[in-house]
Amino acid sequence: MRRALLNSAREKRAVPHPRDRSVRQLEKKEKRAVRLDAHKTRLKMEKTLQLMRFFWFREQCIALGYTATAVPEETVAQLVQLYVDRNKEEMSALRLQRNPPMGRIKVLEATLQAEEDELHSAKGLRVPSMTDADDVEILTEIWDGAQETVTVVPLTSISMQHRTPPTKEALEQLLQRLRPVADIRKEAPVTLPKRAVKFHAVQSQQQSTAPSRMKVSIKKTEDTTASVRLRVKAREEAKQQKRLSAQRCAAMASRRGVSADEDA
């Protein structure tokens, strides 16, 4: 973008009249460059925040032991509510300080309000799909936690508009089994941009070292959406072949007048 602005400024100096058609074209070109740069920055920030959200749910599913089985819908609703409330503890700690950072507190409050509004809207909050066993396996086993392969994770929307909110007791019980938010942030394979840091709690000065921020998963990143579909298809075909084999054995056993176990 800086190069585009410099080029336009150089071209503008060569134009004799300020209201010339070329000047208006250059001004339009500058505005478009600024608009495209802002759009690019916004998309990058949204992708980074989505990655952090998916990584949080991935680590919590692993902590709960859901790696190849579907997560109950009640547990999914509780996880989503705990994710939205993840910054409340930091907000309480900041308010207890002698000189509380009001800017940071206001940002966390705005983030909490925005996510709660999204959760209680008709569209709902976009989270990884966790109610299907194959989707959970993709989230916890196939996806390596990197930004380049996040597209393999199936998405879904959770809305509390027509649901009964989880009870406080259920949330506290589930919270005891989850990993702390600070530990997950230290292991996240991405460094948030400066504009996106305001949406997440910043690590303490002692913990925010360069190696911890740049820590990346050692799993392979070869899995793509096509390979995931092929893997699911092969699994279904194997189940079908096993079912057909059992039916053939039962048919042959009944034809011979013996039980399937004896025939085997």
Q: Tens digit of pLDDT for each residue in 87-109?
A: 888 899 999 998 999 988 998 89
Same domain, 88 and 139: yes
Question: Using a CB cutoff of 8 Å and minimum separation of 24, what contacts does 199-203 make?
Answer: 199/49, 199/107, 199/111, 200/49, 200/52, 200/87, 201/86, 201/87, 201/90, 201/108
The whole-number pLDDT of residue 189 equals: 60
The whole-number pLDDT of residue 14 equals: 57
Asked if the structure places residue 12 within a domain, the reply is no
Cα separation, 133 vs 146, whole angstroms: 21
Quote the distance between the C-alpha of residue 123 and its chain's center: 17
Same domain, 113 and 173: yes
Q: Determine if residue 5 is left, alpha or beta; phi over 0 gives left, psi from -120 to 50 gives alpha, anything else beta.
A: alpha
* Confidence check: pLDDT of 81 > 90: yes
Asked if the structure places residue 3 within a domain, the reply is no
* Confidence check: pLDDT of 16 > 80: no
Q: Where residue 26 falls among pLDDT bands split at 50, 70, 90? A: confident
Residue % of the chain over a pLDDT of 90: 28
Name the pTM for this structure. 0.60
Segment 159-206, tens digit of pLDDT: 998 888 899 999 999 999 888 877 776 766 654 444 444 444 443 333
* Confidence check: pLDDT of 241 > 60: yes
Same domain, 93 and 211: yes
Same domain, 172 and 192: yes
pLDDT, averaged across the chain = 78
Of the two residues 185 and 264, the one the predictor is more confident about is 185
Q: Where residue 57 falls among pLDDT bands split at 50, 70, 90? A: very high
Asked if the structure places residue 33 within a domain, the reply is no
Cα separation, 95 vs 239, whole angstroms: 56
Count how many domains the chain has: 2
Q: Where residue 240 falls among pLDDT bands split at 50, 70, 90? A: confident
Beta strands at 155-158 and 125-128: parallel, antiparallel or unpaired: antiparallel
Q: How many CB atoms lie within 10 A of CB 57?
A: 23
Last residue of a domain, one of 188, 205, 222: 222
